[in-house]
Structure 1
């Protein structure tokens, strides 16, 4: 969450020179590569401005919240909004974590070093890790945990 000083799409900037396509593509690629998602927020979407009230007025969506699927699973009721303030050229973003009314009773996976000494557990972990080679680290650990629990 913060000021990324870049836009993902041309419609996220008004006024001034157009954002260079290669810059937007680079930012978009970085977001995609990390498997992050642009978390929607309520309120005014142009979070930065310069020269308001003049012919040179520029505004852009430079501030955003990027989340992972795992984060969204942990906080399914979170809400975000932009906050109007008078003393800054940025609109702050407010992220409220709202506790779930129906908490999940899933046990979180916790790795135990002792499992490495157990031949069966060790083989399960090696096999699970090898099968998930193309996945992100968090997904690999989660899959390994599920394999151990089974």
Structure 2
């Protein structure tokens, strides 16, 4: 992560727990559950901070935790993370949540997007509501800042992962007459991440010890094992003009019935892979992009 970011972030990592090895799984897919929490703690020096982190780790079995703390850094931050229940930590220093720093963050994220074409996510306290529905009371959403945020997301091919739980992730802790609520702590993903983790979900956890709610993301990725699949005839093959030649070659040469069937199954499968590729994967990818546009 570039140095030019808005807050101190602590990426606290724990070894991920795997289900049984591939050869011990009774099904054709293998599941890896990874849980990540982002939380703007606003008070890492408070006496209850460590106990609350321990509770989050124990209750959710976290692989990664991102703690955002704007008023602490350097050796003090390291002293705190050394006492937390993780194997290690990465620290970045605070710059500040001003508009100029947000512009730098958007530019840096765009640079990251240009460096690769892999599945990835953006997560954190972005300190910027995107639309009016992301905010309750107070001044309206700043049009220019929200458009700059959206332009960054569009360039990076990102879309919101949605959520369950309370609608807003931040409150100003005022009485009802002056209460302001916002949804500014979020997870975004690109289409490739969605294909890799189709069952991923985001949950807004109860707000406690901070004006920000912890936000949990759980992934349930599906990894296919290379098993021999039974041959399956595809009806759409009949509409391709090159398909009759595949049939003709398989049934020529004076072979017996069983040999002709085996030859046809093998040749048709290879022909399908060459001409059409993985149609189901392509379909899921198109659907994912449609969801992203909507």
TM-score normalised by the chain length of structure 2: 0.34
- Confirm or deny that 1:81 pairs with 2:203: yes
| 2:151 equivalent in structure 1 | 29
Matches within 5 A, 1:1-150: 1-100=123-222, 103-105=223-225
Q: Paired residues, what number?
A: 104
Distance 1:13 1:29, change over 3 A: same
Residues 99/22 of structure 1: CA separation in 2 closer, same or farther (3 Å cut): closer
1:99 to partner: Cα distance:
4.2
Q: Distance in 1 between matches of 2:178 and 2:189?
A: 33
Equivalent residues of 2:126, 2:186 under 8 A apart:
yes
Q: State the secondary structure of the residue aligned to 1:55.
A: helix
2:260 match: none
Tell me which stretches of 4 or more aligned residues in structure 1 moved more than 4 Å: none
CA distance in 2, matches of 1:51, 1:94: 22
Q: CA deviation at 1:10?
A: 1.2
Structure 2 gap ranges (5+): 1-122, 227-294
Counterpart Cα distance in 1 of 2:219 and 2:142: 35
- 1:66 and 1:23 map into 2 onto residues whose CA distance is 18
Corresponding residue number in structure 2 for 1:114: none
Point out which structure has higher relative CO (alpha carbons under 8 A, 6+ apart).
2
Deviations 1:49-100 (A, max 9, x none): 1033242211101111010111111111212100003211011111112243
Aligned equivalents of 1:19, 1:55: Cα separation in 2: 19
CA positional deviation for 1:45: 2.1
Cα deviation per residue 1:98-129 (whole Å; 9 max; x = unaligned)? 243xx3247xxxxxxxxxxxxxxxxxxxxxxx
1:15 and 1:91 mapped to 2: Cα distance? 18
Q: CA RMSD in A?
A: 1.5
> Does structure 1 retain, via aligned residues, the 8 Å contact 2:173–2:211?
no
Q: Which runs of 5+ in 1 are unaligned?
A: 107-150
How much does 1:42 deviate?
A: 0.7
